[in-house]
Amino acid sequence: MKFANIFKNLVLAMALAASLFGAAFYAKASEVRGFSKLNYLNYDSPNDNLNNSELFQINRLSFVTQLSEQFSFESSYEFSQIYTDIESPLLKKSYSAADKDYRIDDIEQYFDLRENYYYLNQNLDRLFATYEKEQLLITFGRQPIAFGSGSGVNPTDVFTPFSYTTIDTEERNGVDAVRLRYELDNMGQLDMGILFGKSFNSEKSAFYGLVKLPFADFEVQPMLAYFKTAMLVGLDITTGILGASVWLESAWVKTSEEKEYFRSVLGFTRQLSTDLTLTAEYYFNGAGRTKKQEYANLLTDFAHTEGGVFVFGQNYLHLTLAHQLAALHGVFLSLKNNLDDSSDLVILGWEWNVLENTYVNVGSYLNLKQDNKNEINKTEFGSLPKTIFTRVRYYF
Q: How confident is the model at residue 89 (pLDDT cuts 50, 70, 90)?
A: very low
Distance CA 76, CA 74 (A): 7
**How confident is the model at residue 220, as a pLDDT?**
97
What mean pLDDT is reported for the chain? Answer: 88
**How confident is the model at residue 26, as a pLDDT?**
57
Contact 279, 267 (CB under 8 A): yes
Please measure the distance between the N-terminal and C-terminal CA atoms of the chain and give it in whole angstroms.
33
Closest to 395 in 3D by CA, of 356, 357, 354: 357
- Find the mean pLDDT for residues 185-211: 95
> What is the secondary structure of 46-65 as a DSSP string?
TTT--EEEEEEEEEEEEEEE
Q: Which residue has the higher pLDDT, 366 or 45?
A: 366
Distance CA 129, CA 66 (A): 10
Domains, the chain, in order of start with CATH, read 3-395 (2.40.160.10)
Distance CA 368, CA 260 (A): 33
Q: How many CA atoms lie within 13 A of 78 on its CB side?
A: 20
Residue 88 has pLDDT above 80, yes or no: no
**How confident is the model at residue 2, as a pLDDT?**
47
**How confident is the model at residue 24, as a pLDDT?**
55
Closest to 243 in 3D by CA, of 277, 198, 203: 277
Q: How confident is the model at residue 374 (pLDDT cuts 50, 70, 90)?
A: confident
| Burial of residue 200, with CB atoms counted within 10 A of its CB: 0-12 exposed, 13-18 middle, 19 or more buried | exposed
**How confident is the model at residue 115, as a pLDDT?**
59
**How confident is the model at residue 120, as a pLDDT?**
85
Query: Could you read off the pLDDT of 53-74 as tens digits, one per residue?
Result: 889 899 999 999 999 999 999 9
Q: Which residue has the higher pLDDT, 169 or 128?
A: 128
Q: Which residue has the higher pLDDT, 10 or 220?
A: 220
Q: Which residues pair with 181 in a beta bridge?
A: 137, 191
- Find the mean pLDDT for residues 75-87: 85
Residue 95 has pLDDT above 60, yes or no: no
Contact 108, 8 (CB under 8 A): yes
**How confident is the model at residue 94, as a pLDDT?**
47
**How confident is the model at residue 383, as a pLDDT?**
83
Q: How confident is the model at residue 257 (pLDDT cuts 50, 70, 90)?
A: confident
Residue 97 has pLDDT above 60, yes or no: no
One-letter amino acid at 88 equals S
Distance CA 363, CA 366 (A): 10
Residue 93 has pLDDT above 50, yes or no: no
Distance CA 247, CA 270 (A): 12
**How confident is the model at residue 287, as a pLDDT?**
96
Best-predicted range by mean pLDDT among 5-14, 40-49, 290-299, 367-376?
A: 290-299
Closest to 205 in 3D by CA, of 269, 145, 138, 128: 145
Distance CA 177, CA 145 (A): 9
Q: Which residue has the higher pLDDT, 133 or 91?
A: 133
Closest to 127 in 3D by CA, of 80, 180, 71, 62: 62
Residue 20 has pLDDT above 60, yes or no: no
Distance CA 66, CA 287 (A): 44
**How confident is the model at residue 9, as a pLDDT?**
56
Residue 312 has pLDDT above 70, yes or no: yes
98-107, 302-311, 312-321: segment of lowest average pLDDT: 98-107
- Find the mean pLDDT for residues 172-179: 96
Q: Is the dihedral of CA 363, 365, 370, 373 positive or negative?
A: negative
**How confident is the model at residue 3, as a pLDDT?**
45
- Find the mean pLDDT for residues 354-366: 96
Helix (H) or strand (E) holding 94: helix 89-94
Q: How many CA atoms lie within 13 A of 312 on its CB side?
A: 21
One-letter amino acid at 170 equals E
In percent, how much of the chain has pLDDT > 70?
A: 86
Report how far Cα 314 is from the mean position of its chain's Cα atoms: 21
Distances (CA, A) of 9 to 63, 77, 107: 19, 13, 5
Distance CA 75, CA 81 (A): 21
